[in-house]
Amino acid sequence: MILAKPKHSIKHVAIIMDGNGRWASMRAHPRVWGHVRGSGIVADIVEAADDAGVGALTMYAFSTENWCRPQTEVRVLFNLLHKFLKRERDRILKNNIRFKIMGDITNLPVSTKNLIAQLENESRLNTGLKLTFAFGYGGRSEITQAMNLFVKENPGRDVTEEELAKYLMIPDLGDVDLLIRTGGDHRISNFLLWQIAYAELYFTDTKWPDFSVVEFDEILDIVSKRERRFGAITSAPDLKSNIEQARTNKSLLRG
Ligand code: FPP
């Protein structure tokens, strides 16, 4: 980890790590080989995000839809998560990273659930990069769950956007600034549907096992030069300023 972090306007990066299966098939290997190779670069990208001064990195490791894959593939993905937790625990703690899983992990092996609980607990007060793996995750399910929780606690009352955001799985992650998808497809695949409302989208043909720190840094560079207007006509410093401007306009127009 480098100490003097460059200033960056991109605070939350989300990544859909796609293309593992095709990467392996193109090399006449079983699909799972792509996941194995893909899992090998996750730690490099975590470090690159940390070095670039990104505040939060959320990686899509297993979607609710991935349950439909063959049992052997599901087992390999569970196993890779397990190995990552064991291998990277010390580095995560040393680098002041807060680690969390978002999603339904009920069906993971008990030993993996224990490793998750342990690392989440050990890293909970860390103030550096917020590293989150979306595992057993679906965006629609997250929003539905948030809505149900709100209704339970506030029967008969309408919810506001600000209130609902507080009921999401990890509220302090905030909005995504940049969503990267590798593997050449241009889809969102039920990832962070609420949080990507104003995200910059970046699709690369690179398949995840070939993704690199160099490409990650290049994408940050390209996207940080894009003008983000959040629905206004000139670029505002952030989404909050536009919301405040909109409120002022509305009350002025009401008279
Ligand atoms: C999509 O590729 C990728 C996944 C379903 C899983 C992503 C998981 C990893 C990169 C490894 C997990 C590692 C850790 C440390 C949690 P795909 O199989 O859909 O690729 P395809 O589109 O080529 O078929």
Q: Encode pLDDT of 180-234 as tens digits.
A: 999 999 999 999 999 999 999 999 999 999 999 999 999 999 999 987 766 666 5
Residue 9: pLDDT band with limits 50, 70, 90? confident
Ligand 1 center from residue 81 Cα (angstroms): 11
Ligand 1 center from residue 19 Cα (angstroms): 7
- The mean-pLDDT minimum among 23-27, 45-49, 64-68 falls in 64-68
Residue showing tokens 């397990």? 82
Whether 240 is in a domain gets the answer: no
Ligand 1 atom showing the smallest separation from residue 60 Cα: 7
Whether 229 is in a domain gets the answer: no
Give the range of the structural domain holding residue 102, as residue numbers without chain letter.
12-224
Whether 2 is in a domain gets the answer: no
Give the CATH number for residue 113.
3.40.1180.10
Q: Which residues pair with 135 in a beta bridge?
A: 62
Ligand 1 atom 24 nearest Cα: 21
Whether 234 is in a domain gets the answer: no
One-letter-per-residue 3-state SS of the chain: CCCCCCCCCCCEEEEECCCHHHHHHHCCCCHHHHHHHHHHCHHHHHHHHHHCCCCEEEEEEEEHHHHHCCHHHHHHHHHHHHHHHHHHHHHHHHCCCEEEEECCCCCCCHHHHHHHHHHHHHCCCCCCCEEEEEEEECHHHHHHHHHHHHHHHCCCCCCCHHHHHCCCCCHHHCCCCEEEECCCCCCCCCCCCCCCCCCEEEECCCCHHHCCHHHHHHHHHHHHCCCCCCCCCCCCCCHHHHHHHHHHHHHHHHC
Question: Is it the case that residue 246 has pLDDT exceeding 80?
Answer: no
Ligand 1 atom 5 nearest Cα: 62
| Better pLDDT: 9 or 173 | 173
Distance CA 72, CA 15 (A): 24
Mean pLDDT of the chain: 91
Please list the active-site residues.
Answer: 18, 66
Ligand 1 atom showing the smallest separation from residue 209 Cα: 10
Residues with CB under 6 A from ligand 1: 17-22, 35, 38-39, 42, 61, 66, 77, 80-81, 84, 133, 183, 208
% of the chain beyond a pLDDT of 90: 84
Whether 233 is in a domain gets the answer: no
Domain count, the chain: 1
Whether 188 is in a domain gets the answer: yes
Residue pLDDT, tens place only, 115-170: 999 999 999 999 999 999 999 999 999 999 999 999 999 999 999 999 999 999 99
Whether 239 is in a domain gets the answer: no
Ligand 1 center from residue 235 Cα (angstroms): 35
% of the chain beyond a pLDDT of 70: 86
Tell me what pLDDT residue 55 has.
97
Ligand 1 center from residue 197 Cα (angstroms): 24
Whether 238 is in a domain gets the answer: no
